[in-house]
Amino acid sequence: MKTNNKLLAMLFFVVSVSITNAQKIVGSWKGTLKVQGMEMPLIFNISEKDGAFASTMDSPSQGATDISMDVTTFKNNILTIEFKKAGITYSGELSDNSIKGTFKQGGMEIPLVLNKTEKTVPGNPELVSSEDELKKLSSLEKGNYKYSVEDYFANPKGVSFRFSPDGNYLSYKESDDNGKQHVYVKNIQTGEAKRVIEQKKELIRGYGWLNSNRLYYTMDKGGNENYHIYAVNLDGSNDKDLTPFEGVRANFESLLKEDKDHIIVQLNKNNPQIFEPYKLNVVTGEIKQLFENKDASNPIAGYQFDKDGNLKGYAKLKDGVNMNLYYEDGNGGYKLSRELSWKDSFSILSFDYSTDYPHDAYVLSNLETDKAEIILYDLKKKKTIKKIFSNDKYDVGGIGLSKKNNYTIDYLTYEGEKNILIPVSKTYKKLDKAVKEKFPGMQYYVTGKTDDETKFMLYITSDKLYGIYYVYDLKKNELKEIYNTMPQLRPEDMAEMRPITFKSRDGVTIHGYITLPKEALNGEKVPVIVNPHGGPQGIRDSWGFNPEAQLFASRGYATLQVNFRISGGYGRKFLESGFKEIGRKAMDDVEDGLKYVVDKGWVDGDKAAIYGGSHGGYAVLRGLTKTPDLYACGVDYVGVSNLFTFMKTIPPYWKPYLKIIKEIWYDEDIAEEKEIMNEVSPVFHIDKINKPLFVVQGANDPRVNIDESDQIVEGLRAKGVDVPYMVRYDEGHGFGKEENRIALYKSMMGFYAKHLKGKTKEPIKH
């Protein structure tokens, strides 16, 4: 009996140790991989149920979270984790609160020590306003309005209509009752429609036809922008993730019209900072790397393929700020063709396939003119053949070619006050005439065409019309309506968007737009929402239907959009005049725009709000600190608050371009510019903010880290300021999901109702 008791005690001890160790392994474990001079944090989150283990992996530097692992075992104190798709294996031994082991992938074996940590969500959740607080804010908007927030921001019932290349099918995205947008394919002859792509947890970010039998679509995870490319047959079968690499971003490079089974993509699979081209079989998923991008310090920034998938040349970054263009040498290699500054524009729009000579290309260039122009250029002889298209006031940008008619030019485009399409071919002159006769004053975009170029998908829109899809039948010279995307928004109820032009305080001509509600048209001075755009470099506001501006107008607010210096489309000089002026002269232009519309008598300068996203969010914070008495309130949407931390938290694939970012913004290594960064970083001037602020952030934002919003909220809260703070943990750089978007604008309208309607500007108390 004594012996048996000892045996039982021993067994109990062994079992107890096993259970204790099993409990100890459950939780989150963090370590850092050191690869080629880079440090990459990894977190394994281990769970246990009924004796079976499971785990997920986070890679914070790549914006990837909750990646499900295929195998997780824990035996005899040895933890083994496998992620078969990525070829990853980790094996380590538990000792106290650390696991010492080896990380294996692609032939590499790297020591990796994991230490116990806490699983956390991005940012500081204690700062985030509760749903009850946000609903209370939303409820502050009172009134009986003809249109609700949902009318403007619910997903359109149908959108993104596309022809199959053979013209036998029509694809489109259709919303269900829960706001999820699935992709359908409709047989044009029979009228039968079938859902081929189902939207589940993640948004379908984009889709299109690969060939007449197969479609592609793209998704990321929670807005982290690490896109995967998927493909599916038109009957919904063979749905395949073509780029099943976690923590990797896939960029669609080109569709090969002559090769129905392959596309070219770019992946940062081998190094998160740089992209390399791959030829991808859209049926089998077989993938083949086409070229190596070896030098991470001077990476290839872009590849140029012809229509057959041949790599003709590439642009290689040099010293972080210059660009060397390489072109094929005729012997299977590539030689230096041009040395450019990163500020130079010299990009191939398309090769000229109308002749047998393979080296002529249509190039968008600003090397000889201030405004970007289209030239026909001989890449081998390095000379301009002829100028194709230019405009004295604006950059030009688009060219369309007809494959059916031996790649002759169909049309040319540029954007002035409105988007302008200039028809060149007989086909487009006929199409353009038909559209303008039926829809005078509206804009149209050709979103697709059949391979035989007899049917064209058009999107007709204006400042008052959200958009209607039409099919243009070339043979019949006939326009047929396919789908009205937002029929509930009647154009006669919408507000006019007017182009405006004014002089800045230092004499620069600035363009923009004002959207005026009916009260302003009746002579009443209305509140105004100043809305600086994102970017900021090379981005611009455009004429057309703007759901935000229309929602604001329906509540009696005007919207001002200023294309301040550094905006795109107005030439090189105007663009570059905004470099090193973000938060300074670029903000002066916004302020001068407000003064202009106040002087016009359209708006009440004492009831001006400032609202924007990304750089626009930064402009909100900068506006409230630079000119604290100018605005009544502000709404910061995924905006930068601290230029120093912003540049340290950019996505890994932006890091090779950090010198360029510093040439556009500021360089802290230059003493004078470091002072400017302190001056224009709002987080260091929180004491100057004396007006109400609403902050909005996507937790998984890879561009503007949640810390940017946390810093400003925490700083203001420390001073006793009540700052509503909306965070969505399934979003990134802006809200893509319908329910989040609607909640945002409801809260925003409540915020404006509280601080703009019937009130003069009152400082908040610190």
Q: Could you tell me the two tokens for 507?
A: 């004499």
pLDDT of residue 408: 97
- CATH architecture of the domain formed by 21-117: Beta Barrel (2.40)
Q: What is the dihedral of CA 645, 651, 655, 658, to 10 degrees?
A: -50
Say whether pLDDT at 623 is over 90.
yes
Domain boundaries, the chain: 21-117, 425-485, 491-757
Determine what percent of the chain is predicted with pLDDT higher than 90.
Answer: 85
* Nearest CA-CA partner of 763 in 641, 631, 636, 635: 631
pLDDT at residue 745, rounded to an integer: 98
Compute the distance between CA of residue 271 and CA of residue 268 in angstroms, rounded to an integer: 5
User: In this structure, what are the phi and psi dihedrals at residue 624, rounded to the nearest 5 degrees?
Assistant: -75, -15
Interval 576-614: pLDDT, tens: 999 999 999 999 999 999 999 999 999 999 999 999 999
Angle 172-494-480 from CA coordinates, rounded to 5°: 40
Give the bridge partners for 43, in sequence order: 30, 58
The answer to whether the 425-485 and 491-757 domains have the same CATH topology is: no
- Please determine, looking at this structure, whether the domain spanning 491-757 carries the CATH number 3.40.50.1820: yes
* Measured distance CA(435)–CA(433) in Å, rounded: 6
Look up residue 431 and give its two tokens.
Answer: 């199409």
pLDDT tens-place string over residues 86-124 = 789 999 999 888 999 999 998 889 999 999 988 778 999
Which residues neighbour 522 within 8 Å (Cβ) at sequence distance 6 or greater? Answer: none
Dist CA 303 CA 328 (whole Å)? 12
pLDDT above 70 coverage of the chain, percent: 95
Reference 385, options 405, 361, 368; nearest CA is: 361
Q: What Cα–Cα distance (Å) separates residue 239 from each residue in 136, 160, 284?
A: 44, 20, 10
Decide: helix, strand or coil at residue 428.
Answer: helix
Share of the chain residues as helix, strand and coil, in percent rounded to the nearest 5: 25, 40, 40
Mean pLDDT on 453-462: 97
- Classify burial at 146, counting beta carbons within 10 Å of its beta carbon; exposed 0-12, middle 13-18, buried 19 or more: exposed
What pLDDT shows up at residue 134? 96
Asked if pLDDT for residue 3 goes beyond 70, the answer is no
Encoded tokens for 521: 């048209």
Lowest-confidence segment of 15-19, 356-360, 605-609 by average pLDDT: 15-19
**What is the C-alpha separation between 518 and 680, in angstroms, rounded?**
37
Nearest to 293 by CA among 251, 353, 348, 352: 251
For residue 532, which of 639, 643, 625 has the smallest C-alpha distance?
A: 639
467, 485 in Cβ contact below 8 A?
A: yes
Q: How buried is 2 (Cβ within 10 angstroms: 0-12 exposed, 13-18 middle, 19+ buried)?
A: exposed
Phi, psi of 497 (to 5 degrees): -105, 115
Question: Within a 13 Å sphere around the CA of 330, how many CA atoms are in the beta-carbon half?
Answer: 5
User: For 653-699, what is each residue's pLDDT tens digit?
Assistant: 899 999 999 999 999 999 999 999 999 999 999 999 999 999 999 99
Q: Are 105 and 88 in contact (CB under 8 A)?
A: yes
Whether 337 shows a pLDDT value over 50: the answer reads yes
User: What SS3 state is found at 729?
Assistant: coil
* pLDDT for position 525: 96
Q: Which H or E element spans position 591?
A: helix 585-599
The 10s digit of each residue's pLDDT in 286-333 is 999 999 998 888 999 999 999 999 999 999 999 999 999 999 999 999
Q: Which two tokens stand for residue 356?
A: 């047998």
Peptide bond into 536 cis (omega under 30): yes
Q: Average the pLDDT over 197-211 and give the result.
A: 93
pLDDT at position 10 is: 45
425-485 under CATH 1.20.58, yes or no: no
pLDDT in tens, 256-265: 988 999 999 9
Averaged pLDDT of the chain: 92
Cα angle: 148, vertex 150, 606; to 5 degrees: 55
Q: What is the pLDDT of residue 23?
A: 72
Q: Please report the DSSP string for 504-539 in residue order.
A: -TTS-EEEEEEEE-HHHHTT--EEEEE---SS-TT-
- pLDDT bin (cut points 50, 70, 90) of residue 16 is very low
